[in-house]
Structure formats: C-alpha cells, structure tokens
Amino acid sequence: MQRTQLLFFAWLAFAAAQDIATQEQRLLADRDTLDPQDGRIVGGWATKIAHFPHQVSLQKGTRHICGATILAPTLVLTAAHCVLKANEPQDYFIRAGSTKWSSGGSHHRIRRIIPHEHFNQPTHMNNDIALLQLQDPLIFSDNIKPIPIVTPMDDVPTLAQLFVSGWGSTKVEQMAPSSLLHYTVIVQLNRDSCARNYFGAATITSTMFCAGSKSGKGDRDSCVGDSGGPLITHVDGRFKLLGIVSWGLGCANAEYPGVYTYVPAYINWIYQTVQTLT
C-alpha cells in the first residue's frame, strides 16, 4: 500500500477515534434491560443511535430505503443496489444522528453517488458497494461518528461477534421498516457451506461472506430495509466496519443466511474513488 494511502486511512482511523469500551458497555446494558422478544432486526433488540453513531438512514424522497455508514465528514458507504439511479443524486438524502429514521438528527443532501464500476459483474450482486459524497460535511458528536474499516492485517477470529444494525423489517411476515433502530449479534459462517446452500440460486464470490445465528437456526438476520447498512466487529479494543448488508433469500432463513459485502477487499477502490472527488 502506498504512503499516501496509508496516510489517508490513518486519518480515517484518527477521525473515528472514540471510547469503544464505554460504547460497548452501554450497548450491552441497554440490551439486557429489554425483553428479547421486544422487536428485532430479525431476532435482536431495539437500540439507540449513540450505540451505533456511524449508522445513517439512506432515503429517497420521504422513504427510508437502506442503511449506510459514515467514513468521513462528507463520505458515506452503502450498497450499490441501494442507489440504482446513481446519476440522480438529488433524489437521495441521508439522516444522521437519530434513533428514528423519520425525524431528528441532521438531514443531508447527496452531491455525488459512485457505485462500483463492476457492480453485478461477473455475477449477480458482486461488487455491491457504493460511495456517497455529501453536499455539506457532517458535524461529529456523540450521535454522529465515523468508523474505521477492518484492514487485511486485522485479526478477526472465525466466530467473532458481529453486530448488524438498521431500520429494516423486524418481522419476517411484515416487510416494512421499523421506526426505531435495531441491532442483532451474529457470526461469520462457513463460506463453502453457504455457497453450497445458494448453489443454483446465486454465487458467493470471494468478496462476499455469509453471516447468521451462531446456533444455525436462522433466528437472527438482517432483513428488508437493512441493505447497505454496516456490519461491525470488535478489533483490538475498538469497533471496525467489516461488511455491508447486501443480499439473501428471505430473512432469518437457516438454509439461506445473509450475504455481506466484504469491505476490506475494497480498501484500494475506496481510496482511488476518493481521489477522484472534488
């Protein structure tokens, strides 16, 4: 990696510095006070934006359509399939710093949308990643913070806890966004097993990974409306971004776990794309 790239990502890491231990303690304490059946992302808990300050709602018109992740004051990361009309950035907005997607926090227009140039190539849903450049910078606070990306050098254990959050549907039978932010805890699943399950329906590429319930029962998952949002994990005392909610067949289906874009594979793409922005 070139020196300029290292400096760029060092700046991102510095900008994302936060008291992660305190954040995690608050998150777990908040979870323990809730009835486990009290709403779910599917199979999770209601939460507060202060526990996931990197999370934003991506909106089109007055509708929440996807999640997204803050990387820097004017940079947000999401899934390419969330912004199919990338040449019409004026139609998209983000809301940051609010537990509710419909109100509170700050509302921001998008200046430019850059989906991966090889999205859907050579297989469906491959390279499902896009950068959003905001028209005005976010003002960081306890409820609005960037998050660093897991690097290839970071050690993420096989069964590390992964936290996925969003305003997506909380019930499989009710495909409508939740008014409040939810999260759940999942783990990375065996790639070969997941690829066999999806064989004939879709292809799991090297830049995708599967994640779901540790029990294997399919009782925890992201769902409709969570697409584009962050999947994070704990690395060396801080949270980092590992994945983007991408696709799957149904929600909370043990046979077809959720599939995520593996963000560390796109560090060079992110850097090169940022270099083109003015």
64, 128, 169, 222: the active-site residue: 128
* Closest by Cα among 162, 165, 155 to 214: 162
54, 64, 81, 116: the active-site residue: 81
For 181, residues 6+ apart whose C-beta sits below 8 A from its C-beta are 46, 47, 48, 49, 52, 55, 99, 100, 101, 165, 166, 167
- Classify residue 15 as exposed, middle or buried by CB count within 10 Å of its CB (0-12, 13-18, 19+): middle
As given in the structure block, the two tokens for residue 262 are: 């593996």
Q: 194-198: which pairs have CB atoms within 8 A and are 24 or more residues apart?
A: 194/257, 194/259, 197/255, 197/256, 197/257, 198/249, 198/256, 198/259
Question: Is residue 43 a contact partner of residue 261, using CB atoms and an 8 Å limit?
Answer: no
Tokens 């064989």, residue located: 199
Residue 128 designated active-site: yes
Tokens 């992660």, residue located: 20
As given in the structure block, the two tokens for residue 105 are: 């926090």
Catalytically active residues are 81, 128, 227
